Amino acid sequence: MVGLPARGKTHMARRVARYLRWLGVGTRVFNVGNYRRQHLGSRQPARFFDPDNVEGNEARARVAMRALDDMLAWFGSGGEVGIYDATNTTRERRRSLASRMRAHGLDVVFVESVCEDESVIESNIRQTKLHMPDYAGVAASDAVSDFRARIAHYERAYEPVEEDEGAFVRVIDVGRKVVAHRIQGYLPSRLVYFLMNLHVVPRSIWLTRHGQSSFNVEDRVGGDPSLSPAGREFAASLGEHVRDSGIAPRVWISTLARTAQTAAPLGLPFEEWRALDEIDSGDCDGMTYGEIRRDMPAEHAARRENKLTYRYPRGESYLDVIRRLEPVIFELERERRPVLVIAHQAVLRSLYAYLMDRAPSEVPYLPIPLHTIIKLTPITYECDEERVALSPALA
């Protein structure tokens, strides 16, 4: 990462890490600010960051190298994408970091965040920086002015990334403009595309399964059944709940009848996504779990053995579902309005794992009960979660 303080670097770093981990790429963020706080204490005044402060510069360079050592050791033990999250605002610092990384056989891409929009900088300072241990117990106005003085020191020494430094992507004003230079290969291209869709407007994402279907009643997988009477009652409660909230979200459903029937009482337009269809249970489609165990014991055992990678004969695995949801994730990131996703158990487990940064191995077991709306609201770097059970409750 490259950029002045309060330009959203950590936000980007953590979002990219979450996305890549969700895709199954071993990714970790190394935040040099945390190393500084850990090794040098969190109460450094703004003058510590003055480029003319020789002692301060040396101390900062030492912790920066410590973080790099840890990152290189992590790569040595199988890490795939390391995100080195620091200001890295001088050419000299970037040169020394990148040369050590390249000597270890790593490909380096600089991600520079440039932001001149004062309102974004101000809100970033207030939402994230004031809550850092650096300012615990300090009055907000004193903390803001100290942080602004810190930024001013960095500004004096700042040298934007130049073309001769290698591959980079420069994100200007949170995605208003994105410049990509010498970006090649699958992961760097995904990175650029992801960064193009990122924004910082906080809005909620609501997830719910469709109302109970006739297949749910019989414990059958897949199919395209209609809602049961209890499922229709849930659809009515959901409509009421959303109307009472005073929010008119965008509504996304799958192409299966049970999600459209659940969305109907909302009285809102909805968009159908094939990517939101339930996991394809292939040859087992329409069977009960008991029938699969009885008639296809080898399949049942294989699924129990590894539910994440198990693929139904002529159907899908959870990993397949995660991969096909990628366009939904991009659209979710891009969308600035609240979104209500009405979908299915396996699909919502996968989306939830992305939003809550849960490991792929946990995905097939995440609890996503029927008749429950899961409200996720971004707060600083994470999501706040609220679950509301709507009637009728299912036994």
Residue 55 token pair: 């002692």
Instruction: Please tell me whether residue 371 binds ligand F6P under the rule CB under 6 A.
Output: no
**Shortest Å distance, C-beta 351 to ligand F6P:** 14
195 versus 346: smaller Cβ distance to ligand F6P: 346
Instruction: Please tell me whether residue 174 binds ligand F6P under the rule CB under 6 A.
Output: no
Which of these ranges, 5-13, 149-157, 191-199, 277-285, lies near ligand F6P under the rule CB under 6 A?
Answer: 277-285
Instruction: Please tell me whether residue 221 binds ligand F6P under the rule CB under 6 A.
Output: yes
Report which secondary-structure segment, H or E, holds 378.
strand 372-379
Which of these ranges, 93-101, 165-173, 200-208, 276-284, lies near ligand F6P under the rule CB under 6 A?
Answer: 276-284
Clarify whether 122 is annotated catalytic: no
Which residue, 338, 376, 335, 340, is CA-closest to 358?
376
169 versus 260: smaller Cβ distance to ligand F6P: 260
167 versus 321: smaller Cβ distance to ligand F6P: 321
Instruction: Please tell me whether residue 346 binds ligand F6P under the rule CB under 6 A.
Output: yes
**249 with 206: CB under 8 angstroms?**
yes
**Shortest Å distance, C-beta 218 to ligand F6P:** 10
Instruction: Please tell me whether residue 261 binds ligand F6P under the rule CB under 6 A.
Output: no
Which residue among 11, 50, 112, 115 is the active-site one?
Answer: 115
Phi, psi dihedral angles at 110 (to 5 degrees) = -85, 135
338 versus 364: smaller Cβ distance to ligand F6P: 364
**5 with 151: CB under 8 angstroms?**
yes
Residue 322 token pair: 């995660």
Instruction: Please tell me whether residue 300 binds ligand F6P under the rule CB under 6 A.
Output: no
Instruction: Please tell me whether residue 344 binds ligand F6P under the rule CB under 6 A.
Output: yes
Largest CA distance in the chain: 75
Size of the residue set binding ligand F6P (CB under 6 A): 10
CA atoms within 13 A on the CB side of 335: 18
Which residue among 11, 50, 85, 280 is the active-site one?
Answer: 85
Which of the 8 DSSP states describes residue 391?
S
User: What is the C-alpha to C-alpha distance for residues 333 and 349, in angstroms, rounded to an integer?
Assistant: 17
Clarify whether 278 is annotated catalytic: yes
**109 with 168: CB under 8 angstroms?**
yes
Which of the 8 DSSP states describes residue 21?
H
Which residue among 50, 134, 146, 278 is the active-site one?
Answer: 278
Written as one string, the DSSP assignment of 135-148 is GTTS-HHHHHHHHH
**In this structure, what is the dihedral angle of CA atoms 176, 181, 186, 192, given to the nearest 10 degrees?**
-10
Which of these ranges, 14-22, 154-162, 340-348, 377-385, lies near ligand F6P under the rule CB under 6 A?
Answer: 340-348
Q: Figure out which of the listed residues 50, 134, 146, 278 binds ligand F6P, where binding follows CB under 6 A.
A: 278
**Shortest Å distance, C-beta 323 to ligand F6P:** 16
Instruction: Please tell me whether residue 262 binds ligand F6P under the rule CB under 6 A.
Output: no
Instruction: Please tell me whether residue 338 binds ligand F6P under the rule CB under 6 A.
Output: no
Q: Figure out which of the listed residues 17, 227, 251, 279 binds ligand F6P, where binding follows CB under 6 A.
A: 279
Written as one string, the DSSP assignment of 177-228 is EEEEES--SHHHHHHHHHHHH-------EEEEEPSPBHHHHHTB-SS-PPBP
Phi, psi dihedral angles at 303 (to 5 degrees) = -70, -40
**Shortest Å distance, C-beta 260 to ligand F6P:** 16
Binding characters for ligand F6P, 2-41, by CB under 6 A (x = yes)? ----------------------------------------
Instruction: Please tell me whether residue 325 binds ligand F6P under the rule CB under 6 A.
Output: no
Which residue among 153, 210, 344, 371 is the active-site one?
Answer: 210
**Shortest Å distance, C-beta 223 to ligand F6P:** 7
Q: Figure out which of the listed residues 222, 231, 249, 338 binds ligand F6P, where binding follows CB under 6 A.
A: 222
> Sign of dihedral through CA atoms 178, 182, 187, 189?
positive
User: What is the C-alpha to C-alpha distance for residues 73 and 83, in angstroms, rounded to an integer?
Assistant: 14
User: What is the C-alpha to C-alpha distance for residues 161 and 170, in angstroms, rounded to an integer?
Assistant: 8
Question: Which residues form the catalytic set?
Answer: 85, 115, 210, 278
Q: Name the site residues for ligand F6P (rule: CB under 6 A).
A: 216, 221-222, 278-279, 281, 344-346, 364
